[in-house]
């Protein structure tokens, strides 16, 4: 079975289901004749469905990139200080200029996320290469430290409720038309990554091989950082951080298909979308008509998947 | 020709290379020999711009490596480092395929595919071309790395201990291929070898290094003598002759 068509069909089916379920029941077949139903669909269901798919796809692609940049499979945008960096940038701009326009907030979040991720990469480049597990540990420590800085500032400035929505409760129930469109930027960044897929794959072979093949490693590093930071910043600001997608999906796809990113990135993106979509649907169905945040479900599902991946590591590290 | 002019190198405070001036002749197979830690890999990495030059100049076929864009150098020389462990999960055909990247930069042509197939065939990798790098033996992986450098199809080929992990037959086959590159295609090859008899049997030019200095250079017959080798390795080494070339009896 070819993975791309199978995943595309699965995603399309889940998106259809996602359009129909919710507090107000929607009959897709008769929606066109009914303005009220159309309103629900276009203003709420469609935006939510797209937001879920974009988030999953972009985060999974960001995960592949960060893993190639640091040459370690046990990191993701949620364990490299990226999400906390985005939150820090948002917090700073909110405090310094409360009336700042949205685009400036996005820029602040992206730049700050880029800075903290660059810090992460600088730290781990000093670690001994063979210590595979030090890399995720360093990421968790950095994320933890940055997270407490954000929380501390949040308490001091009475902004805790924002921080909660950015870092803790990744979920899609608040998504309506007009409040998710930034995620298209995340999706665009992920598409951009596909055009440089070969470069990221070559960077993953190590600096020596990359230099030998005439690749300017710094430029690729910067591009990768920018994509990871922009994706994460957009997700954090619109729906809050969704854990594990960027960690687990790249691992599973690499085990099955390998690391030729030009071939695998579309599969990674589709798988990420499918995974988050499944978790969002599950969250909407278990205690219907109430919801469990997709981020929470992913936390559970993702940690089980991650343990399974750790347990059956590839033979050569 | 590769010219090396007054190259010194330090790591931290420790001097690794001392004012090295030498050359690798064009259209020849040059072997770099010397004990562990002599600085062979460091010198090769400096030539291959895998390490920034601290002092001195290196030029490859007339191009100063410090002033030539790295992507242009990748079409002039291919280098295989000593450390070839790669964490990526690539199929052998994909790895070898990346050797063509300096030429097509993302848009492989039929010519590129043909070159990759040729390189896989040359190193007897065709039957396992679809296997992942972490699912083949150490020697097979090593051959895949060499095949990747071959596929790069450059005038200069620099290999750091390519014989690592290779069995006798594959080691000899590799030396034969390198010889063929030099004799029939006019290419130039530089390689680090520890098994000195491979240098004795196949190399045109030998550079002997010790403690970050060059202690001897010249033809195999000039360098691979009892005096030079005993000095180089701080151990008495007998040298016989076989078909007009030195045969080093270091194992007894
Ligand atoms: N990262 C490093 N830090 C400090 N010293 C180093 C480092 N890498 C290499 N060296 C030292 O530099 C010297 C030259 O090393 P190099 O790898 O060039 O030797 P070599 O001739 O290739 O040896 P071998 O035959 O073992 O491969 C050695 O004395 C080594 O200890
Ligand atoms: Mg060496």
A268 to A50, A72, A237, A301, B94: CA distances (angstroms): 17, 17, 23, 17, 18
Q: Ligand 2: distance of its center to the CA of A27 in Å? A: 70
* Cβ(B39) – ligand 1 distance below 6 Å: yes
State pLDDT tens for residues B41-53: 999 999 999 999 9
Sign of CA dihedral A162, A166, A167, A173: positive
CB count within 10 Å of CB B225 equals 16
Residue A82 Cα, gap to closest chain B Cα (Å): 23
Residue from B38, B52, B194, B211 whose mutation best tests the ligand 1 pocket (most atoms within 8 A of CB): B38
Element of type H or E holding B242: strand B238-242
- Could you tell me the domains of chain B? 1-76+155-172+180-252 (3.40.50.300), 87-153 (no CATH)
CB contact at 8 A, B247 and B240: yes
Interval A284-298 mean pLDDT:
87
Better-predicted residue by pLDDT, A237 or B182: B182
Identify the helix (H) or strand (E) that includes residue A294: helix A294-311
CB-ligand 1 contact for B37 (6 Å cutoff) = yes
CB count in 10 Å sphere of residue A30:
9
Long-range residue pairs from A214-222, CB within 8 A, at least 24 positions apart, any chain? A214/B69, A214/B70, A214/B71, A214/B72, A214/B73, A214/B74, A214/B75, A214/B101, A214/B102, A215/B70, A215/B71, A215/B101, A216/B70, A216/B71, A220/A196, A221/A69, A221/A121
Residue B11 CB less than 6 A away from ligand 1: yes
pLDDT reported for residue A310: 73
Contact between chains at B106 and A198 (C-beta distance less than 8 A): yes
Q: How far is B229 from chain A (nearest CA, A)?
A: 32
- The overall average pLDDT reported for chain A is 89
What is the pLDDT confidence band of residue A210, given thresholds at 50, 70 and 90?
very high
How far apart are alpha carbons A179 and A102 in whole angstroms?
Answer: 11
Q: Which of B12, B20, B32, B40 to mutate to test the pocket of ligand 1 (most atoms within 8 A of CB)?
A: B40
Average pLDDT over residues B20-34: 96
User: Which chain A residues are within 8 Å of B135, Cβ to Cβ?
Assistant: 315
User: Among all ligands shown, which has an atom nearest to the Cα of B16?
Assistant: 1
CA nearest to A77, candidates A108, A120, A124: A120
Cβ count within 10 A of residue B230: 14
User: Does any ligand 1 atom lie closer than 6 A to the CB of residue B42?
Assistant: yes
Using the CB atoms, write b or e for A225-257: b if 16+ within 10 Å. bbbbbbbbbbbbbbbbbbbbbbbbbbbbbbeeb
What mean pLDDT comes out for the span B71-94?
A: 90
Q: Does the CB atom of residue B208 touch ligand 1 within 6 A?
A: no
Q: Is residue A317 very low, low, confident or very high in pLDDT (cuts 50, 70, 90)?
A: very low
Instruction: Report the alpha-carbon angle B75-B77-B78, nearest 5.
Output: 100
In the Cβ-directed half-sphere of A235, how many Cα atoms lie within 13 Å?
41
For residue B14 and ligand 1, the question of a CB distance below 6 A is answered with yes
Q: Which run of H or E residues covers position B33?
A: strand B29-33
Residue A30 pLDDT more than 80? no
Q: What is the torsion angle, in degrees rounded to the nearest 10, for the CA atoms of residue B197, residue B173, residue B145 and residue B201?
A: 20
Nearest to A202 among B73, B78, B101 (CB): B101
Residue A9, C-beta contacts closer than 8 angstroms, at least 6 positions apart: none
pLDDT bucket at A1, cuts 50 / 70 / 90? low
Peptide bond preceding A289 in cis form (omega within 30 of 0): yes
pLDDT at A266 over 50: yes
| Half-sphere exposure for A210 (CA within 13 Å, toward CB) | 22
Q: Which of A30-39, A155-164, B15-24, B119-128 has the lowest mean pLDDT?
A: A30-39
Residue among B45, B90, B102 whose CB faces A214 most closely = B102
Lowest mean pLDDT among A72-76, A107-111, B83-87: B83-87
Which residue puts its alpha carbon closest to atom 16 of ligand 1? Answer: B39
Q: Cβ of B81 under 8 Å from any chain A Cβ?
A: yes
Q: What is the pLDDT of residues A66-91, one digit of tens each?
A: 999 998 888 999 889 999 999 999 99
State how far residue B191 is from chain A, nearest Cα, in angstroms.
15
DSSP, residue by residue, A231-252:
HHHHHHHHT----SHHHHHHHH
Task: Kindly identify the ligand whose nearest atom is closest to the C-alpha of B13.
Answer: 1
- Ligand 2 center to residue B6 CA distance, Å? 21
Interface of B with A in 5-24 (CB under 8 A): none
Look at residue A313 in the predicted model and tell me its pLDDT.
59
Ligand 1 close to Cβ of residue B114 (< 6 A): no
Mean pLDDT on A280-301 = 88
Q: What is the mean pLDDT of residues A179-196?
A: 93
| Chain B residues touching residue A215 (CB < 8 angstroms) | 70-71, 101
Radius of gyration of chain A (CA): 19
Mean of pLDDT values over A222-231? 94
Q: Mean of the pLDDT values across residues B211-233?
A: 94
Which positions ≥6 away from A290 have C-beta within 8 Å? none
B131 shares contact with chain A (CB less than 8 Å): no
pLDDT score of B26: 96
Report whether A52 contacts A273 (CB < 8 A). yes
For residues B55 and B9, what is the distance between their CA atoms, to the nearest angstrom?
A: 7
Residue A31 has pLDDT above 90, yes or no: no
Ligand 1 neighbour B36 (Cβ under 6 A)? yes
Non-local (6+) Cβ contacts of B248 within 8 A are B196, B197, B200, B224, B229, B237, B238, B239, B240
Output the pLDDT for position A314.
53
| Least trusted range by pLDDT, from A190-199, A228-237, A286-295 | A286-295
A211–B70: do the CB atoms touch at under 8 Å? yes
Q: Tokens at residue B44, please? A: 């090769």
Contact status of B233 with chain A (Cβ, < 8 Å): no
Alpha-carbon distance of A253 to A265, in angstroms, equals 9
Nearest residue in A to B83, CA atom? A208
Integer Cα distance of A29 and B161 in angstroms: 69
The fraction of chain A above a pLDDT of 90, given in percent, is 55
Chain B residues in contact with A312 by the CB 8 A cut-off are: none
Section B182-201 average pLDDT: 94
**pLDDT greater than 50 at residue A316:** no
* Phi and psi angles of residue B41, each rounded to the nearest 5 degrees, phi first: -65, -40
Q: Which residue has the tokens 């790069």?
A: B152
For a pLDDT cut of 70, what percent of chain A falls above it?
A: 96
- Ligand 1 centre and the CA of A213: distance in Å? 23
Q: Is the CB of B10 under 6 A from ligand 1?
A: no
Residue B241: which of B229, B230, B252, B225 has the closest Cα? Answer: B225
Residues of A in contact with B152 (CB under 8 A): 213
Looking at residues A125-140, what average pLDDT do you find? 82
pLDDT higher than threshold 60 for residue A315 = no
Query: Is the distance from the beta carbon of residue B34 to the nearest atom of ligand 1 less than 6 Å?
Result: yes
Q: Would you state the pLDDT for residue A225?
A: 93
Of B45, B83, B134, the CB nearest to A316: B134
Would you call B152 an interface residue with chain A, using a CB distance cutoff of 8 Å? yes
Q: Which tokens sit at A291? A: 């919801």
- Residue B92 to residues A88, B85, B124, B145: CA-CA distances in angstroms? 43, 14, 12, 9
The string of DSSP codes covering A101-152 is -HHHHHHHHHHHHHHHHHHHHHHHTTS-TT-TTHHHHHHHHHHHHHHHHHHH
CB contact under 8 A, B101 and A198: yes
Domains of chain A: 3-312 (1.10.3470.10)
Task: Indicate yes or no: CB of B98 within 8 angstroms of CB of A208.
Answer: no
């Amino acid at each position: 079975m070819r993975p791309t068509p199978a995943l595309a069909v699965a995603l399309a089916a889940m998106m259809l289901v996602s359009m129909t379920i919710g507090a107000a029941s929607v009959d897709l077949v008769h929606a066109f004749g009914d303005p009220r139903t159309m309103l629900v669909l276009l203003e709420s269901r469609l935006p939510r469905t797209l937001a879920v798919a974009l988030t999953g796809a972009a985060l999974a692609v960001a995960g592949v990139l960060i893993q190639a940049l640091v040459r370690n499979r046990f990191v993701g945008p949620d364990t490299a200080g990226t999400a906390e960096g985005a939150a820090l940038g948002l917090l700073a701009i909110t405090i310094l200029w409360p009336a700042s326009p949205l685009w400036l907030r996005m820029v602040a979040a992206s730049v700050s996320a880029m800075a903290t991720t660059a810090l992460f990469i600088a730290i781990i480049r000093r670690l001994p290469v063979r210590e595979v597990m030090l890399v995720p540990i360093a990421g968790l420590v950095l994320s933890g430290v940055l997270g407490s800085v954000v929380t501390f500032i949040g308490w001091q400035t009475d902004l805790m409720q924002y921080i909660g929505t950015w870092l803790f409760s990744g979920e899609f129930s608040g998504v309506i038309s007009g409040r998710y469109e930034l995620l298209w930027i995340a999706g665009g960044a992920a598409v951009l990554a596909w055009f440089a897929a070969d470069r990221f794959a070559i960077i993953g072979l190590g600096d020596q091989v990359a230099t030998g093949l005439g690749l300017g490693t710094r430029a690729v590093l910067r591009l990768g950082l920018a994509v990871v930071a922009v994706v994460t910043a957009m997700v954090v600001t619109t729906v809050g951080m969704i854990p594990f997608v960027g960690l687990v999906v790249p691992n599973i796809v690499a085990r099955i298909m390998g690391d030729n990113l030009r071939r695998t990135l579309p599969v990674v993106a589709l798988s990420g979308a499918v995974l988050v979509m499944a978790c969002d649907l599950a969250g909407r169905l278990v205690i219907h008509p109430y919801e469990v945040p997709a981020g929470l479900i992913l936390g559970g599902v993702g940690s089980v998947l991650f343990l399974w991946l750790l347990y059956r590591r590839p033979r050569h590290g | 020709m590769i010219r090396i002019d007054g190259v010194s190198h330090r790591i931290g405070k420790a001097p690794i290379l001392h004012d090295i001036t030498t050359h690798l002749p064009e259209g020849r197979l040059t072997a770099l020999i010397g004990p562990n830690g002599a600085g062979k890999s460091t010198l090769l990495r400096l030539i291959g711009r895998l390490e920034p030059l601290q002092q001195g100049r290196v030029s490859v076929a007339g191009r100063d490596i410090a002033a030539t864009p790295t992507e242009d150098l990748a079409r002039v020389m291919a280098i295989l480092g000593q450390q070839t462990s790669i964490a990526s999960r690539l199929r052998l055909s994909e790895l070898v395929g990346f050797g063509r990247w300096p030429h097509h930069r993302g848009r492989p042509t039929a010519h590129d595919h043909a070159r990759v197939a040729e390189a896989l065939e040359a190193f007897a990798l065709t039957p396992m071309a679809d296997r992942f790098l972490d699912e083949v033996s150490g020697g097979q992986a090593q051959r895949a790395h060499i095949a990747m450098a071959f596929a790069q199809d450059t005038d200069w080929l620099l290999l750091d201990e390519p014989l690592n992990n290779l069995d006798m037959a594959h080691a000899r086959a590799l030396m034969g291929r390198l010889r063929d590159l030099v004799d029939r295609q006019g290419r130039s090859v530089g390689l680090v070898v520890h098994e000195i008899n491979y240098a004795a049997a196949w190399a045109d030019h030998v550079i002997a290094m010790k403690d970050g200095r060059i202690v001897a250079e010249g033809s195999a017959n000039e360098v691979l003598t009892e005096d030079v080798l005993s000095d180089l390795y701080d151990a008495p080494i007998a040298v016989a002759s076989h078909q007009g070339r030195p045969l080093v009896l270091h194992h007894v």
